[in-house]
Structure 1
């Protein structure tokens, strides 16, 4: 039975940190089992990396992507283990869309872990380390950001574009490092309150990722995709899809297309969502979601206390 008025959302890159999920790992067998399965699929001890590795290693996208997917799926399984019901709808931010599709039954977990590691490798090699960058811009109208990036792009500094529409007044830009720096300077002149470089190692969701998209399409050709048991709102067009081949196309397009997170949240609200559960490390999406629609209630599953609070708060909502 689905939880009425409830959505589960899954974070993307930037939420990773050394030591994350330590309490959940101790509390829930489902979390331990999920990390063990991921380690077996990838051939290294993922849990040891998260707890004892270096942040710089964790931030490399080929590592970050399977780590975050595993973390989100582990918390979803802990939720189920504790008796939590399925939500009305799901969505994931960028990489988080893969997590959502695993939890919705559209992708096999082991397949997805291997696939997102490849996705990370493809994205990293599309633009060498140091040549690409991303930055969050806060306090400027979205269209101003789009226009300034368009004015900078194509010049001697390279390409830059608005790529993540995270909430009104918070947009992420990405591209060649010099072009991102030039856009940041112009946006500060235009009144941006903050411009924060992001801890990622490639300019995601830009035209620079098209080669990665082509390689991802090849890798995905042999991966089975099912129709989701729970609707998943996609980043590219803010709609749910049931056709596996259409889902496959959208996952490829997403790698070089802007993430329309504001539109995804609005689409969930239009379906009647009033409670949003963040299933993964951190609370980044909870903050964005409240800026998009102040009526939304947010819950986080990263800590056992948060998971139990969400179970209690949503009990009887099915």
Structure 2
């Protein structure tokens, strides 16, 4: 049964942590089954890496991407197994858009696991480790951040730009490390409350990622997408796309274009969404969504008790 006022959102990189989903896997066998399916595709034990690996390894993007995709899909399968309703809309933040497309039936899980591993590798090799950086700028208007990035880019001669419009007052910048540092300094001088470096290993969603986008396009050339069974709001233009032939281009553009998360959430509320379930580790998107629209009710289902309580609460409302 679909509930018209519910959306599911799927997190992107930065939400990964060693030991995540241990309790959920103990309660829902389908989570272990999903990780086993991914492990077969990848050729290594993904669950063992998540439970017993090093955080530094989890943070490498070619590892992070299959880890988070698998975590989100596993939780969505557990949600359905527990009797949870099918949402009316889905969206994912950056990498999370692939999780949304899998859960919406537009892309096979096994295909997506391999694809995001390749995507991570393409993105990592586009800029060597240590040469790129990302940082969240808190408490400064978008225009001021764009101006600081432009000034830092002009001064350094290197790329830096606003790349994730996460919520009013929170924008992520990315680019070459020195240019990002210069932009941080300018943002603070302009009145930013904080600037937080992010635990990622490449400057995502900048022009530096265009070569990765070209390689992703080649990797997707032989992949067949299906029409989403649940509409997905895409990062690039904060709109839905029902034509499966148009989806690959949106995923390619997403690699080197800003994530319009504020627009995505506004598009969902305009479509009648009042309750949003974050399907994946952490609560990053729930916090952002509240800043975008305080009327939204947010739910997290990473822990088994929270999952079951959310199934019950949303069914009875």
TM-score range, shorter chain: over 0.9
Tell me by how many angstroms 1:316 deviates. 4.1
Partner residue of 1:48?
A: 48
Segments of structure 1 that go 5 or more residues without pairing to the other structure are none
What is the alpha-carbon distance in structure 1 between the residues aligned to residue 265 and residue 283 of structure 2? 15
Tell me by how many angstroms 1:156 deviates. 2.9
Partner residue of 2:230?
A: 230
Tell me by how many angstroms 1:49 deviates. 0.2
What is the alpha-carbon distance in structure 2 between the residues aligned to residue 250 and residue 279 of structure 1? 22
What is the alpha-carbon distance in structure 2 between the residues aligned to residue 218 and residue 8 of structure 1? 29
What is the alpha-carbon distance in structure 2 between the residues aligned to residue 208 and residue 26 of structure 1? 41
Partner residue of 1:275?
A: 275
Q: Is the 8 A contact 1:157 1:178 kept in 2?
A: no
Give the structure-2-normalised TM-score: 0.99
1:293-312 to structure 2, matched below 5 A, reads 293-312=293-312
Partner residue of 1:96?
A: 96
| 2:134 is the alignment partner of 1:131 | no
Tell me by how many angstroms 1:139 deviates. 0.5
1:116-265 to structure 2, matched below 5 A, reads 116-156=116-156, 158-265=158-265
What is the alpha-carbon distance in structure 1 between the residues aligned to residue 145 and residue 13 of structure 2? 22
240-249 or 63-72: bigger deviation: 240-249
Segments of structure 2 that go 5 or more residues without pairing to the other structure are none
What is the alpha-carbon distance in structure 2 between the residues aligned to residue 142 and residue 191 of structure 1? 12
Q: Is the 8 A contact 1:233 1:264 kept in 2?
A: yes
Tell me by how many angstroms 1:258 deviates. 0.1
What is the alpha-carbon distance in structure 2 between the residues aligned to residue 245 and residue 127 of structure 1? 29
Q: Is the 8 A contact 1:214 1:252 kept in 2?
A: yes
SS at match of 1:153: helix
What is the alpha-carbon distance in structure 1 between the residues aligned to residue 197 and residue 156 of structure 2? 21
Tell me by how many angstroms 1:154 deviates. 4.1
Q: Deviations over 1:213-246 (max 9, x none)?
A: 0000000111110000000000000111011121
Partner residue of 2:82?
A: 82
Q: Deviations over 1:258-301 (max 9, x none)?
A: 00000000000001001000000000000000000000001001
Q: Say how many residue pairs are matched.
A: 317
SS at match of 2:302: coil
Partner residue of 1:18?
A: 18
SS at match of 2:228: coil
